[in-house]
Amino acid sequence: MSKQASERRPPLARGRGAAAKRSKGPATNGGEQPIVVFFDDTRLVRDLLGDYDANLAVLEDRLGVEAVVNGNAVSLRGPELACATAKAVLEQLYGRLAQGEMIGVGEVVGAIRHAGVIDPDGEIDTLAKVPTAQQIRTRKRLITARTPRQSAYLAALEAYDLVFATGPAGTGKTYLAVAFAAACLESGICDRLILSRPAVEAGERLGFLPGDMREKVDPYLRPLYDALYDVLAPEWVERGLATDVIEIAPLAFMRGRTLSNAIIILDEAQNCTPVQMKMFLTRLGDSSKMIVTGDPSQVDLPPGKDSGLVEAIGILEGIDEIAHIAFTARDVVRRELVGKIVDAYEAAPRRGEQHG
């Protein structure tokens, strides 16, 4: 590494401090020869380390290792298992860079999660040690799963005709579903992409909305548009919407239809009543896949109305062609702060019970 690059290492120093705290234990190589990882391409090494070595600092902090860069080599010291994991993560990320993928802090965290280490305390997820992160490629971008459960989700989308995805905000339920559907549409696996949501306000009453039907329902469906434009070229989206190859419609418009040769996504499904859910699920036609996403903890239905999402999952459990992926706060990839917010809200009722 050049002298200028080696001077830009304040985050790395912080990472070494965190590593020193967690390197106490019998299985360390701190006093032995370090594990050294060599790379061929200097430009890719710079991208691998990140600006001001931010990517490397995350690796140190999450795994409790000390990383020292010398040219195209990275020396790793710390617990043996952590060093082996860090080596595997660096090699995997370097390979993804060589294939043209951009690597940032989120990708580093995702690779660490797939390696089996979820947090600095060393807690292992039940889906840990998934060998490689699942990927979706569209003409606009390559999307890589950032948690083992996201990889399981993408694998389920490939294998099953009906997939339920539940869990808190920020876990990628809707985004990955739209990305998968967009890739299928581009590759000709399906003829149409149908995106739907129940038109229920999140704790508000918006009252009268001006405009034609599309202008009235667009505010409810905006997250689906956002995901579409992120994974497909704008001209593709506009042409698809104009020709009904891509259809975005409220749930109420699904009644009486049979949807064949399509990928159908129902988002915010926790706001469906049991009758609406049954109606939607029975729209599935030949050569179609259905993806139902929702967060059972955020039901916005009026008091006295039950959510059809949890009921449907329970009723349909055991049917071979149906999968259910249950995300948790550990799968939040939007920001780590979002995961902490989810944890705090989940813990709040328990605190109330303890004091009440």
pLDDT of residue 24: 37
**94 Cβ contact list (under 8 Å, min separation 6):** 39, 44, 45, 48
Torsion of CA 102, 339, 84, 108, to 10 degrees: 10
pLDDT of residue 125: 44
Helices 54-63 and 105-115 cross at an angle (nearest 10°) of 30
C-alpha 152 chain-centroid distance: 11
Residue ranges matching CATH 3.40.50.300 in the chain: 135-354
pLDDT band at 32; cut points 50, 70, 90:
low
CATH assignment, 135-354: 3.40.50.300
In this prediction, residues 130-158 reach a mean pLDDT of 85
In this prediction, residues 298-323 reach a mean pLDDT of 88
Residue ranges matching CATH 3.30.1370 in the chain: 3-115
Angstrom distance (rounded) from CA 266 to CA 196: 5
Is pTM beyond 0.85 here? no
In this prediction, residues 179-200 reach a mean pLDDT of 90
| Mean pLDDT across the chain | 79
In this prediction, residues 18-41 reach a mean pLDDT of 58
Pick the CATH number of 3-115 from 3.30.1370, 3.40.190, 1.10.3210, 3.30.1560: 3.30.1370
Question: pLDDT exceeding 70 applies to what percent of the chain?
Answer: 76
